[in-house]
Chain A
Amino acid sequence: MAADKFALFLGCVAPLRYPGIEKATRELFKALGYDLREMTGAGCCPAPGVVRSFDQATWLALAARNLAIAEKQGCDVLTICNGCFGSLYEANHMLQEDPALLKKVNAILAEVGMKYEGKVRVRHFADVLFNDVGIEKMKQKFTRPLDYKVAVHYGCHFTRPTKLKHLDDPERPHILDELVEWTGAKSLPYADKNMCCGAGGGVRSRDGKFALTFTEAKLKNMKAVNAQFIIDVCPFCHLQFDRGQKDLPGYDIPVIHLAQLYGLAMGLPESSLGLEAHEIKVTL
């Protein structure tokens, strides 16, 4: 598929909770010369923790519908969320590996006049920035050096399961640290950096208090190194850290998605970053 265009998959949490992530992504990729196509009529990825846990066949069929929308555009899919990336990547993998399964799913899609041929590739935007765009080109776009000291949060479904995704080391990932440091910011080492935020697997919706025990464990470790911001690549982790701190007072670490951080480094006006939507006030 063409390398200079992508079908932008929005998902739920970015457009409906943190639209600054969507806006910054659109501006960022436009500035890099990409043609971002709309996936008109796409829906939830669907969410791996809930929908897949309830019924894998439904999860697969709805994911295939989203993939078919991108395929019609002749583009690979660009995701801005670990959950969307996880669902669409894994569903795509299953469908591409198993023609009988693809046939079964297509029988369902036929009911709504659609078909998926298994041709698209599902990408995470941070992977595209790191591996396709690269440091040289990216640095040319940065106009505002950032000197923040930050705690990066990879989240689980960006790199794992590594056996399927082949993006980074399972125990010592480095992509996100490097991406952040390209802006001039410093990625601080902190204890238990690879730990989950607690939101995934349907845990946040089912038992929010329990999910917060994960979040607090991470916040403690980030606070211990005096992180100024949390940098994430997933609106759902973003929501868990940002809204979670309403119930976990005393940490006050603002949360910034990598697309927003890059928007900032590129000198986008702050009004394009949607920081008003954040619970924990972002003071730059």
Chain B
Amino acid sequence: MTDLPETTERKLGLVIDLDICVGCHACVTACKGWNTENYGAPLADDDAYGEEPVGAFLNRVHSFEVTPESGPAQLVHFPRSCLHCDDAPCVTVCPTGASWKRAEDGIVLVNEDECIGCGLCAWACPYGAREMDPSAQVMKKCTLCVDRIDNENLDPIDREPACVRTCPTGARHFGDLGDPESAVSQLVEERGGMDLMPEQGTKPVNKYLPPRPKDEEIDVLAPLLAPVADEPRGFLGWLDKALERMG
């Protein structure tokens, strides 16, 4: 069924902190690992040890150089994965109903048994979040690790997406963005979390936290550290003069 649910009870998603991410790609590896060994067709690689390796990944980390109006350039690492959009164009274009959005929590999923591999949903996604599996020839995308978060056999601490669980810096947060009281919603509120490509009208659930502004001045105490004398006096003054005389 490719009609989008009018609203979803919860809006599960990620909040990614661009101020903290160090671009280590650990989330990429954890994602590839979990989603190769668990639910659905394994994320395959073609020519993995050859000249032109290609493979399906559900999470990719770009690095951007950002030069502000004034001040030095900064490097911003930018993880990119499915944003579980409220108005997901990838769902409505699907001819088979394989691409769907779960009404209870808003997760956008692919039913791999129904997918004909037409690729239209990947074209419809503005964010490049869907990749066709090179060997199973069905569409793969981030599931928010449904098979972890729904799995009651796992320890509570593990019932979050593999990327969030593994991120060594705590740059990734998982929660219900439909509940204004949730920790993730509070974080978005506090830090001015933003949507990617709002002009596309997809209403992404995932939010990105902007890098914090860098300090312009060193410190409020800095003025107190200003040199008290411009001219050296005492021993230093004598040394200065003596050296000067030596020419």
Say whether A associates with B: no
